[in-house]
Amino acid sequence: MRILVFNAGSSSLKFGLFDTGNGAERHLLKAGYDRFRDGGCDLRWSTDDGRGGQGRVPLADLGAAIAAVPGFLAEQGFDWIDAVGHRIAHGGAGFAAPAPLDDTTLPEIEALTPLAPLHNPANLAAVALARATWPEVPQYGVFDTSFHLTNPAFATTYAVPEVWRQAGLRRFGFHGTSHKYVALRAAEVIGQPLDRLQVISCHLGNGASVCAINRGRSMDSSMGLTPLEGLVMGTRSGDVDPGAFGYLSRELGLSIPQIEAALYNDSGLKALTGSPDMRDAEDRAAAGDAAAQLAIEIYAYRARKYIGAYAAAMGGVDAIVFTGGIGENSASMRRRICDGLEFMGVTLDHDRNARVDLADRAAPELQAWGARVRVIVTETAEQLQIAREVAQAMAQPVRVALTVPVAVSARHVHLSQAHVEALFGPGATLTAEFPLRQPGNFGAHQKVTVEGPKGRFENVRVLGPTRGRTQIEVSRTDTFVLGIDAPVRLSGDLDGTPRVRLVGPAGQVETDGLIIAARHIHMHPDDAARWGLTDGQEVEVEVAGTGRGITFAHTVVRIQKDAFTEMHIDTDEANAGGIVAGADGALVGPGLCR
């Protein structure tokens, strides 16, 4: 399958042609226009058969560059494509996956333009051109914001009046396709599944953001409602006290549109140095320009501050990954950002950092020998990730819905044998009181008290059989009663979980293992094969509830031998949807329909 990918950014146009057929990934063409000034721009291009070139071309702006693409492709001999994938900066809360770009979805995307005024118009201009040029070719959008829709509410919610929040004021995050790709690439380098890692991805370019990727999911990102929040960027300010709007209005007589336009177009490196390009800032700083020197210090400080914050938010970090034009090419900026992070296990090997070679999708490690945190640099390959996701979306067959029973799990405890004996006496074993629907599992006669710094729950049921490690499953509301912040985890994923006290008739134990169980579906292998589902896949499940209904996104399929196919949710989730015992859920989402 031959897929053309457009990545129309705020100051550049990148495009590529990919062949994703037969399980291979060939990058047939890589090209880009950037550095628009004085009626022209730079063009760089290369093909996988060794052709290429670079030079200045008379294209004054992004619109002219987009219009030139069809002719350029024809000149290079690429006269047919199967699909076009477009990077779309803002998809709001409604686009969680790649979506066809048609007369239904495009108005929804256009309505989001005020949230990404530098990006969505350029993205949509590329879509309009592509639809006019290839009217019979499927067009798909892949959204920067989609990856961040897994952010928890405490990371996305602004502390502002409710009517503002109801109007859509919340944090979204951007560069999601880039952050997703580099995190997957880092996991390949490290040799562990991404869902076992805590990664901080630093996309540093004309647009810049840092993302906390906690066990495979975006937990937080430095950009917010719009791509204006966060780091210092080429022409964008990054974090600014919102009180600046009132101050500038009173002191300088500026209107809100004037202030907003300046924060987007005349701030960042451009405001500090006169140029939005870090290369210019580094050249001027080396020549003694004090303003450029300060700009570089501000840029590095802001990035380092976010890295430290996200390491704290995740409770640790396994790898810091640099990407984007600055992250990939500026050894001095990588060093400035990493210097001072030794306290959290980050130490650069300065020789490695100075000799980075990113040819052939390389992702070299830059940390010093023995450093606890890996430091990796790699090209972002957003276009490749977009091509992959478009190919996956097009390959999904339409299936009849799969309906599964929904079980509501109250708080409960799984105990190790050592803790059974500590709580109930030497030689004690769990005794079954009633069977559970999952074969071999039972509700035990034994109960314990779960005690936190604020409150406690008595008579919490122990479920059997024993496990190799104790696990306590509670709802989010329960954590407020206990006074302990617990993470959302799949069963068995207990590293780094908080400690809680368990009290039994024969003693008590302090143990980690307190989690809010991620919603999941236990699935028999035969059902999984029948419906084309894989272990770890995330699906959406619609449950009718008591007339209101609710859709549970990011429900994880867990395929287990002899499992009884059944969805498990906790009491908070059941209450949100008005769900009672005996409810059924219909799997929906990519490749599934009602």
Tell me if domain 177-387 and domain 519-588 are identical in fold. Answer: no
279 belongs to an annotated ligand binding site: yes
Question: Residue 397's pLDDT band (boundaries 50, 70, 90)?
Answer: low
Decide if 507 contacts 422 (C-beta within 8 A): yes
Q: CA-to-CA distance for 172 and 160, rounded, in angstroms?
A: 16
First to last CA, the chain: 28
Q: CA-to-CA distance for 8 and 15, rounded, in angstroms?
A: 8
| pLDDT at 383 > cutoff 50 | yes
| pLDDT at 402 > cutoff 90 | no
Overall average pLDDT of the 567-590 stretch:
84
Which positions are annotated as active-site residues?
A: 144
Overall average pLDDT of the 193-221 stretch:
96
50 belongs to an annotated ligand binding site: no
For residues 461, 465, 466 and 472, what is the CA-based torsion angle, rounded to 10 degrees? -40
Domain ranges of the chain: 1-143, 177-387, 411-517, 519-588
Domain 519-588 has CATH 1.10.287: no
Contacts of 242 (CB under 8 A, 6+ apart): none
205 belongs to an annotated ligand binding site: yes
Decide if 323 contacts 378 (C-beta within 8 A): yes
Question: Residue 578's pLDDT band (boundaries 50, 70, 90)?
Answer: confident
**Residue-level pLDDT at 546:** 59
Looking at the structure, give the CATH architecture of the domain made up of residues 177-387: 2-Layer Sandwich (3.30)
Interior/surface letters 237-275, b for 16+ CB within 10 angstroms, e for the rest:
bbeeeeeebeebeeeeebeeeebbeebbbebbbbbbbeb
| pLDDT at 513 > cutoff 80 | yes
327 belongs to an annotated ligand binding site: yes
Mean model confidence pLDDT for the chain: 92
278 belongs to an annotated ligand binding site: yes
Query: How is 494-555 classified by DSSP, letter by letter?
Result: -TTPPPEEEEETTEEEEE--EEEEPPEEEE-HHHHHHHT--TT-EEEEEE-TTTT-EEEEEE
Class of domain 1-143: alpha beta
Query: Between residues 327 and 584, which one has the greater pLDDT?
Result: 327
Q: CA-to-CA distance for 221 and 214, rounded, in angstroms?
A: 11
Contacts of 498 (CB under 8 A, 6+ apart): 484, 485, 486, 512, 514
With residue 222 as reference, give the H or E element that holds it. Answer: none
pLDDT in tens, 337-353: 999 999 999 999 999 99
Question: Residue 35's pLDDT band (boundaries 50, 70, 90)?
Answer: confident
Query: Between residues 393 and 284, which one has the greater pLDDT?
Result: 284
Question: Residue 593's pLDDT band (boundaries 50, 70, 90)?
Answer: very low
Q: How many residues does the chain have?
A: 594
pLDDT in tens, 539-566: 889 887 655 678 898 899 999 999 999 9
pLDDT in tens, 442-466: 999 999 999 999 999 999 999 999 9
Decide if 142 contacts 386 (C-beta within 8 A): yes
